Amino acid sequence: MLPTPFNESSLKHAVRWLRDGYLVAFPTETVYGLGADATNDEAVRAIYHTKGRPSNNPIIVHVADRVMAERYAIFDERAAHIADSLWCDALTLILPVRAGSVSPHILAGGKTIAVRAPKHDLAQALIRAFDGGIAAPSANRSGNISPTLAAHVLEEFAQHHGALRMILDGGHTHRGLESTVLDCTSEQLHILRAGSLDAAYIEAVTGHSCSFFAHDASSLLPSPGLLTSHYAPSCAVRLHATTLKHGEALLAFGAYDHMMGIEHACAVRNLSETGDLDEAAFHLYEWLRVLDHHRPSCIAVMPIPYDGVGKAINDRLQRASAPRTV
């Protein structure tokens, strides 16, 4: 199953696979998604099975716009204003679910639903041609690095493609990091997952303040994708590196020639030579995969500022470096 170029014929095929209850991987502006008909129990179960995803981790439903989102989620005035101000873009809203509108497996036992309208022509064309919500987590095996190229999706599922029938190729995703997940179900807006849209931008555009959800270990996890090792290459990852050891690969940010031990590096990739955080987000997952392929003892990552999307980059790198649970 090689990635298929996008055209009228492949779009028609993709819609047919979705209607028949199979999975289709497709590009969005953030990362590639592993899509299924959000109303089809079997198809949604196949997402969990194909990804190896724990059944307590709910799935985002992708819609064309707010009108379509209202089929599945209940918007109050504030949520409608946020969607109208920021969609289509890399923002996922957590809202009360419209009872019975989607397969219960999407909700993983909860009463809320995650909806997002992607800013990507191909994703939009697919959703509109399908004329319904497409459930899609990132198109990687659970715990692995999210895919930013169709070739990454193929790499993830080459051994175990389950119900996946088609990978629509849209080239490199534009942003490279997942959407920001914003919980709109309580008075205070909470960011459950840092992502491509940073908090200050969301606040400035919507006029609502948002705080990061502070997880208390004794409470139920609001967004299960938040904890444990995640977004991880197969080798170890070491953060805030200022020197290099023998056999390590370097994930650089800015100038690195001066780095002590640089001659020991088995491979180097630079997230951004000029220190541009958007460019770093674009390259992050691809460079982690490339460096991992060199089989280094460890990927050493230079410090990355916590400004803007740098917060989400650091969040992903922290999870990539966390002790592995599997």
CB of 113 to ligand TXA, least distance (A): 5
Pairing label, strands 91-96, 189-193: unpaired
CB of 175 to ligand TXA, least distance (A): 8
Could you tell which of Mg ion, ligand TXA, none binds residue 181, using a CB distance below 5 to 8 A set by kind?
Answer: ligand TXA
Largest CA distance in the chain: 60
CB of 278 to ligand TXA, least distance (A): 15
Q: With respect to ligand TXA, which residue has the nearer C-beta, 148 or 270?
A: 148
Give the contact letters, 231-250, x = binds to ligand TXA (CB under 6 A), - = no: --------------------
Q: Return all residues near 231 (Cβ < 8 A) that are at least 6 apart.
A: 143, 144, 145, 146, 285, 316, 319, 320
Q: With respect to ligand TXA, which residue has the nearer C-beta, 190 or 269?
A: 190
Q: Find out whether 38 and 44 touch, Cβ atoms under 8 Å.
A: yes
- The answer to whether residue 33 forms part of the interface with ligand TXA (CB under 6 A) is yes
Residues 189, 84: Cα–Cα separation, whole Å: 16
Question: Looking at this protein, which amino acid is placed at residue 23?
Answer: L
Chain residue whose CB lies nearest ligand TXA: 225
Identify the residue among 4, 28, 206, 321 touching ligand TXA (CB under 6 A): 28
Residues 155, 158: Cα–Cα separation, whole Å: 5
**Which of the ranges 135-143, 287-295, 301-309, 318-326 carries the binding residues for ligand TXA, by CB under 6 A?**
135-143
Give the contact letters, 131-150, x = binds to Mg ion (CB under 5 A), - = no: -------x------------
- DSSP class of residue 220 equals P
CB of 115 to Mg ion, least distance (A): 16
- DSSP class of residue 40 equals -
Q: Find out whether 26 and 35 touch, Cβ atoms under 8 Å.
A: yes
Q: With respect to ligand TXA, which residue has the nearer C-beta, 174 or 238?
A: 174
- Concatenate the DSSP letters of all residues of 233-250 into one string: -SSEEE-S-SB--TTEEE
Number of residues binding to ligand TXA, judged by CB under 6 A: 29
- The answer to whether residue 59 forms part of the interface with ligand TXA (CB under 6 A) is yes
Burial of 294 (0-12, 13-18, 19+ CB in 10 A): middle
CB of 12 to ligand TXA, least distance (A): 22
Number of residues binding to Mg ion, judged by CB under 5 A: 1
